[in-house]
Chain A
Amino acid sequence: MTSGAPNLIPVTVLTGYLGAGKTTLLNRILTEDHGKKYAVIINEFGEVGIDNELIVNADEEIFEMNNGCICCTVRGDLIRIIGGLMKRSDKLDGLIIETTGLADPAPVAQTFFTDDDVRAKTKLDAIVTVVDAKFFQDRLKDSQEAEEQVAFADVILLNKTDLVSADELKLVEAKIREINKYAKIFHTQNSQIPLDQILDRGAFDLQRILEVEPHFLHDHHHHEHDGDITSISVTLDGPVNPERFRMWISAVLREKGQDILRSKGVLAVDGDDRRLVFQGVHMLMDSNFGQPWREGDKRASKLVFIGRNLDGVALKRGFDACAQKR
Chain B
Amino acid sequence: MNTVPAAKAPPRRDVALDAYVVGLAYDAAGNLAVATGAGKIAFMPADPLSSEAPREIVAHRGASLSFARDADGKAFLSGGDDGRLARVTLDGSVTELLNTKGKWIEAIAVSERRNLVAATAGRSVHLLAGDARHELGPHPSTVMDICFSPDGSRLAASHYGGASIHLTARPGEKPRTLAWKGSHLAVRYSPNSKFLATATQENAIHVWRLASGADMQMQGYLTKVKSLAWSFDGNWLVSSGTELAVCWGFAGKGPEGQPPMELETSSVAATVTQVAAHPAAPFIAMGFSHGAIEIADLAKKRVMPLAEPTDSPVSAIAWSSDGWRVATGTEAGQLRLFDLKPQA
A71 at the interface (CB under 8 A from B): no
Q: Which residues of A have CB within 8 Å of B36?
A: 89
B144 touches A59 (CB 8 A): no
A89-B200 contact given A76-B142, A115-B224, CB 8 Å threshold: no
- Interface flags for A58-72 (1: CB within 8 Å of B; 0: not) read 010101111100000
The verdict on A35 contacting chain B, using a C-beta distance below 8 Å, is: no
CA distance A67 to B201 in the complex (A): 10
A84-B202 contact in complex given A53-B62, A63-B160, C-beta closer than 8 Å: no
The minimal Cβ–Cβ distance linking B16 to chain A, given in whole angstroms, is: 14
A207 to chain B, nearest CB (A): 33
A53 CA / B60 CA spacing, docked (Å): 11
CA distance A275 to B38 in the complex (A): 39
A-B contact count (CB 8 A): 73
Query: CA A245 – CA B224 in complex, angstroms?
Result: 29
Chain B residues contacting A170 (CB-CB under 8 Å) are: none
Contact in complex: A65, B202 (CB < 8 Å) = yes
Number of interface residues of B (CB under 8 A): 33
Contact of A79 among B22, B122, B181, B201 (CB under 8 A): B201
Choose one: A57, A87, A89; the contact of B65 (CB below 8 Å): A87
Would you give the shortest CB distance from A92 to chain B, in whole angstroms? 12
C-alpha gap A116/B240 in the complex (Å): 14
The answer to whether the Cβ of B301 comes within 8 Å of any Cβ in the partner chain is no
Q: Closest B-chain residue to A58, C-beta based?
A: B142
Q: Lowest 7 CB-CB distances: which A-B pairs, in order?
A: A87-B37, A66-B182, A89-B38, A87-B20, A66-B202, A88-B63, A87-B63
Q: List 15 A-B contacts (CB under 8 A).
A: A53-B82, A57-B102, A59-B123, A63-B141, A63-B160, A65-B202, A66-B201, A76-B141, A77-B142, A79-B183, A84-B63, A84-B106, A87-B37, A116-B223, A116-B224
Which residues of B line the A interface, CB within 8 A? 18-20, 22, 36-38, 61-65, 81-82, 102, 104, 106, 122-123, 141-142, 144, 160, 181-183, 200-203, 223-224, 331
- A63-B182, A116-B224 given; 11 more Cβ-contact pairs under 8 Å: A53-B81, A53-B82, A57-B102, A63-B141, A63-B201, A66-B182, A66-B200, A77-B142, A87-B63, A87-B65, A89-B19
